[in-house]
Amino acid sequence: MLELVKKAQKGNDEAFLTLFQKYEEDIYRIAFVYMKNQNDALDVVQETAYRSFKTIKKLKEPSYFKTWLIRIAINCSLDLLKKQRKTVQLIPEYEEYISGDVKEDIDLELTLHDLMEYLNELEKSVVILRFYEDLTFKEVSETLDIPLGSAKTILYRALEKLRRNMEEGDVGE
C-alpha cells in the first residue's frame, strides 16, 4: 500500500483511484453520520476525493494515508454542515412501510443519531472514529491531531453525556 501512496504522490491517477476506492465506504459512513442523508454524504465523498487528489503530494507520511483521508472527510462534512445549517427530519409517512425487527433496528439507529446531536463536533468525531471506524485511541488522536490523553477524556465525557441523555429518555420521542 505504501507503494501505491508513493505512486499517487508522483501523479499516478490509477494508484490514487485504487487507494481512494479502498476507503470510499469508510468515508461514506463517516459522512453519513454527520450529514444524515445519502445525497449530502455522497457530496462529502466527492469533495473528499477532490481535496485529497489535489493535495496528496503534501502528505508527509504515506503510512498515514487513511488517517489523512478520514481527516479530510471530517473537515468536508463540517464545512458542508456550516454551509447548510440545516437539519434533516424523518418523514412520518414512511413509518408504515417499515416492518417488525427492521423497525426496531431503525429506531435504535435513529436514537443513536438523535443522541449524537447532544455532542459537540469534537466529541462526535471522537465517538465516530472510535466506535464506527474502530480506530484505536492513538489513531483517533493522530486523525484529529489532538493529544492521546485528550482523545480519551473527550470520549469518556461524550459517553457520559450520551448516557445522561439516554437516561432522561427524551431522545427520539
pLDDT tens-digit profile of 46-64? 999 999 999 999 999 888 8
pTM flag (> 0.85): no
| pLDDT of 109 | 47
Reported confidence tier of residue 130, pLDDT bands at 50, 70, 90: confident
The string of DSSP letters for 39-108 reads HHHHHHHHHHHHHHHHHGGG-S-GGGHHHHHHHHHHHHHHHHHHHH----PPPGGGGGG--HHHHHHHHH
Residue type, 149: G
Question: What class, spelled out in words, does domain 91-173 have in CATH?
Answer: mainly alpha
pLDDT tens-digit profile of 84-123? 764 444 444 444 444 444 444 444 444 556 667 788 888 8
Would you identify the CATH topology of the domain 1-88? Rna Polymerase Sigma Factor; Chain: A (1.10.1740)
Grid coordinates belonging to 26? 469508510
Q: In which residue ranges of the chain is CATH 1.10.1740.10 found?
A: 1-88
| pLDDT of 89 | 43
Query: What does the mean pLDDT of the chain come to?
Result: 80
Q: In which residue ranges of the chain is CATH 1.10.10.10 found?
A: 91-173
